[in-house]
Chains A and B, each alone.
Chain A
Amino acid sequence: MVVASYPATAATNPNANIAIVFSTGGLGDLSFNDAANAGKIKAETDFTGINVDTAEPASQAEINSAIESFASSTEIDYDLIIGIGFTATDGINASATLHPDKNFMIVDSVVPLSNVANVIFAEHEGSFLAGAMAAMVSTTEDIGFLGGLDITLINKFLAGYAQGARYINPDINIRVAYSPDPSNPWGDLAGGQNVANSFIELGSDVIYAAAGGTGLGVMAAAKEKSTADKKIYAIGVDSNQDYIEKGYVLTSMINRVDVAVYNQIKAVVDGTWAGNGDSAPLVLDLAADGVGITDMEFTQTEANADYNSTTTRMEKVDEIKADIIAGKITVDEALADDFTYVFEKVDEDLSDLEDLPLNAFFLFALIAIPVFRKIKK
């Protein structure tokens, strides 16, 4: 097997071969993969000479094998193999170790190898803006968050969201849940709807979903549970999802995956591509315009409502954004362990019970056991 080797910085390469391996949600997830696809289409129109091959794996194992088959392909010598999303981490890691002469890129995860370019997003900064907007819109002072899985990456969204909401309203309740079906965390519409309904029943009126397709269930629930006098909103994630349920999706926190993919393809074509696995990954943050929230096309009345007498809500968000870029507000990637999400008010009926000693229960058990034995005889 003869494999031509490409150094990290090659000359201009207008006929580059690019391979993209999408995440398991597949195209049409109106989210990560679609955003990556938008970047790919933009690159294809700008650089007509390039050839982009894609794979849409359905499972984790298929992702790994798709990456490996692109890396070991003898027919086409790929100049850059792109893995979308953290699900590609293991596959990129394995293939990049096996083929040190090939170049890889991974969005949203870090692989510490010199032939890999890591691009990550400062999702917590974008989520901070979403949280601030949610806190301004919520009338019940109660907002929800639905994550796909309880992992560091998803909790980054939660951390930014919670900090943003508390920045506007320090007393706001933040309810947190994750996808109910761990075998299908990113595509469980019914589960997302169920969780959202529970949140709404508990009093939340804005729910942020960082759970891929499961989030579509949250949008459906927002539409279903909204009444004339009480509106429920969902907040979309990763790409602009405002149009899915028009008027019920407050805004979307966008990761510019398209920008990341486009920039990397451009770098390959220009010959300026370099791996960064052995140094710090490239972070696309608010300042680099890599994250942000949408302009709320279908919820303009909420965006333009007064935050206080001088500024509207959207202007307040822009103010916060400027403050974050200027470093006046720092957004942490993780919350403290003792962060209080919900300020619980114990039910009136329960507060009597709370004073009761547990001894009463043991007393009951002590009486019940002999009685039970007697019955048995």
Chain B
Amino acid sequence: MIEKLKEKKKVWLLIKAFLGIEGLVLLLFGLNVIFNDYTSFLVFHVQVWRLLLSTGTVSSMIIYALPIAITAIGAAYNENVGVINIGLEGIMLWGAWAGIYFTFITGNPWAGVFASIVFGLLNALIHAVWTITFKSEQIVTGVAINLFATGMTDVLTTLVWNPGRSPPLESDVAFKKINFYDSKIFGEFLSKIRFTNFIDKPGGKIFKYIPDPIDVLSGQTILFYLGILIIPIAHIFLFKTKWGLRMRVIGEHPQTAATAGIPVKKYQFIAVLISGGLAGLGGAILSVGIGTSFTVSIVQGRGFTALAAMIFGNWTVLGAVAATLFFGFFYALSIRMGVGFIYNFEVPNEFLQMMPYIVAIMALSGFIGKSRPPKAIGKPYDVSDE
């Protein structure tokens, strides 16, 4: 029977995920017994599952994940044409900085977002020219972009504002937070189907324990929703169109692609530029889409997390997004367990903080299955080869 289940890959994945979470709950319970005292396992178990499925957890998971997901999609594009770009961290930082700076000087957040994308494209252009035209080592160029971004944004922040951070944007300049329940057309209807309305009704208790999808998505800025829209578009472009197919062929075997008449370098340029633009946008979502100010440590490894998520997601767009949600989920969980959503839970904070990384390592070491990179990854394409 197990063998039969294993054949149905998606069902098997769900079972594995469920068992993984159960294992985690058991581990946390064990830690709690060591550090605190014995509490009823059933109560603990029910509470953890409730926390996992609460509206707040899901919403902070999405907020954490979206900027990383957009960058991870970009990474999926450039790696699928065989170019590694670890400069995405730096490009995100540029995007975040430009978003706030140009919003400040123009008074229009859309100008900030536009500037973020332009800065992303410029950085990506540098990377593309260096690695595709001049065939330099891709990792080294990426590191250079990262170091340049870290230094320059710090210097520019100090020159323009205070050292270290910008002041917050005034609320009439920043993107408005859109509350679905206040909207004129759907507001009344949405307020009626809010889960909290049904809790007291017979049989409605279930609504107390599952996340309300409208509550989860409500209260974000327009840029945030546009960011979510990018995910299906990017997926369709890379996996359902002929241009996307060409890109993926280039990543597997550029010589074959060239033989078939595909302009390899042109496609590589386009993919790297798309990735830069998306990473810049990811930074903008972080600084003007979710927050209202810039700090030099605003990105703090999110670009690298995006790369890890992309690998975790097996070089696909949807996989990368799922992986960022996975990281975001444990990030949200580690915060919310640490602030006392669970009674009698006194595991030291450090254990909760390592949780996302432990889970990521466990997951990467065989939980999901082997990931397979594009064959020609990291190798500059040379026409004279073969």
Contact = CB atoms under 8 A, between A and B. Distances in A.
Contact of B338 (A144, A177, A197): A177
A28 B161 contact: yes
Contact of A199 (B43, B162, B331, B339): B339
Interface stretch (A38-46, A183-191, A277-285, A303-311): A183-191
A189 to B, nearest CB: 6
Interface string A26-40: 111100000000000
B226 to A, nearest CB: 20
A194 B42 contact: no
A350 B47 contact: yes
Contacts of B300: 181, 183-184, 188
A213 interface: yes
Interface in A270-317: none
A288 to B, nearest CB: 30
Contact of A198 (B165, B291, B335): B335
B285 to A, nearest CB: 12
A197 B163 CA distance: 27
B275 interface: no
A27 B40 contact: no
A81 interface: no
Contact of B42 (A244, A245, A360): A360
Interface stretch (B85-93, B244-252, B341-349): B341-349
B46 A353 contact: yes
A27 B338 contact: no
Nearest to A186: B297
Contacts of A25: 164
Interface string B299-317: 0100000000000000000
A197 B2 contact: no
A180 interface: yes
Given A178-B338, A189-B293, A346-B343, A197 B353 contact: no
A150 interface: yes
Interface string B132-167: 000000000000000000000000001001111100
B39 to A, nearest CB: 9
A187 B299 CA distance: 11
A224 B177 contact: yes
A344 interface: yes
Interface string B33-44: 000000011110
B292 interface: yes
Contact of B163 (A56, A177, A199, A354): A56
